[in-house]
Amino acid sequence: MFTQIDVSGLDALRSDGHIALIDVRTDAEVERGVIKGTRHIPLHALPQRAGELNPAATTVIYCQSGGRSAQACAFLASQGFSNLHNLQGGILGWLRAGLELVALDK
């Protein structure tokens, strides 16, 4: 199970403490910028890389508009992850809110 959150919900989670922020977009999409503090795991690689994530951590997943990230949340929930959130509107919602993107830390 996972919850849907908007940009203000993401801000609230960030202010409460450490979260895992995961971008599941493609490499080409990520080159255009990410939300600060993001870790990039493309959706197609998530089944192989899910073990890199803490199943008990507060985890927010996002993509371009929210569809792929919802798939990622459903997959992770099926793997026992318990504190998952899908960013509604994805990066487009972030930009509509007037918020900035940064280059991915590599």
Closest CA to 82 of 53, 40, 43, 48: 53
**What is the token pair recorded at 74?**
């459903």
Per the CB < 8 A criterion, the answer to whether 78 and 85 are in contact is: no
User: CB under 8 Å to 92, separation ≥6 — which residues?
Assistant: 64, 65
- Report the DSSP pairing between strands 59-62 and 38-40: unpaired
Which residues are identified as catalytic? 63
